[in-house]
Structure 1
Amino acid sequence: MEPQALKFFSDSNSTPPVYPVGPILDLKTDGNDSKDEKRTEILRWLDKQPPRSVVFLCFGSMGGFSEEQTRETAVALERSGHRFLWSVRRASPEDKIIPSPPEDFTNLEEVLPEGFLERTAEIGKIISWAPQVDVLKSHAVGGFVTHCGWNSTLESLWFGVPTAAWPIYAEQQFNAFQMVEEVVTAKEIESGINCVMEQGSEMRKKVKEMSDKLHVALMDGGSSNAALKKFIQDVVENVM
């Protein structure tokens, strides 16, 4: 994923050997019974959607938004006209010393624009918890609005899904190169969604190329496989 950085370390005589192994992904699904029911419902809905037609919005285990930001996002989704699967949760209070996971909104109808749920009933689905890996591998998903956590970044590349970056906390600002600290307007969100959902775009082609490279890397004879074998060989030779 970063050939320039790897080349720099490989050409340097002052650093230890670098073994580029990866991507390291955990693509197993959670076996929780209650989540299995939700997963089935979500995937059944996705199976009914056209290929690459759904934009998926999900912001990680700690990602939640204020009522104002949630409304702006809803306006953007409706204006964009794209089908959507949206993981909606309320941000934790800022006055807490130890941040807690976000919670569901008590009454979404009071938070979302009036009539939003009725107007988007045929093209959108609002959820709380999301089976992210299963969703990203679905044929229906054409774009991913994400907080840019490292797992989410790798998963989106692995499945070849273009992303619109919306970093919120922790290392995400470095992954996305820009930290968003204020309410993002509906116009800005709509623009990002339309960009990531554009069929045949240069972004989509580049993501597909990267996805192919990641898969090849893990195959027998691929770069990751070869690096791991080289690492084991070096360890054995030095121990002996």
Structure 2
Amino acid sequence: MKTSRKYPFLKWLLALLIGLPVLHYVGRAFVADRFSISGVSMVPTLTAGQKVRVNKLLMGPRIYTKYDFRGGDLKCIRLPGVRKLRVGDVAVFNCPYGRGGDSIAFKINYVYCKRCWGIPGDTVLIADGRLVGGGEFQGRIGQGSKADAFMDFMAFALPERVSLQAGNFAGEKERWTLRDFGPIVVPKRGMTVALDSVALRHYGRVIDWERRCAESVSEEIPGSTYTFRQDWYFFVGDNFLNSWDSRHFGFVPADFVVGIVPNK
């Protein structure tokens, strides 16, 4: 007791040594965090090695309710935020698949940075590299004329078989390409679809994930329709013809979104 009265600065120093690391990690978890860009999928907006600050307050930070991620499951709640993710926003999210993955799985340290091209309920239709169906937004998304010039160069430079190679997401029947894709509706909580062959091809892995989250026991989906329980997003890289994104792996659950990169 006498020591604390004689050396009050020791108490303040101890409080700082304990408090600053706590504030640092609380800030990273709930306010903002920094991520390093790897790859070229967001060129020319973001380049490999560039650091970006992700704002978690805009959408609201996630709080994990389960910290065992070995099974690929995600249990979390999202605190209220300032606004929802919009078409045109650049966001960081946990990639729902590894390359060649057959089912959605959560990997806490496997994150992508892409631009949102479709929010829940939007009909995404890409024609010749332009978004012609995506809610209120129409046109090419990115950094204006710089993005237009870059994409036109890539379309010229890449061989046709590369620039038009579609992913496995849509299946072979649609024969969608990276430049001409859709139309397809982004799943929205409360939206109901008929379980025909097209819906199962487009939404089968989404439905499987939602049923896993709800811990459904039956492997078969009861009934001839399905009502989505979660909101989903559609992301595309600004390096339009050289990006591994939703045109390949499909929709991203809202809970997988880490936060928004402002002013991009």
Provide the TM-score with structure 1 as the length reference.
Answer: 0.25
Q: Which one has a larger percent strand, Structure 1 or Structure 2?
A: 2
Greater helix fraction, Structure 1 or Structure 2: 1
> Who wins on radius of gyration, i.e. which is larger?
2
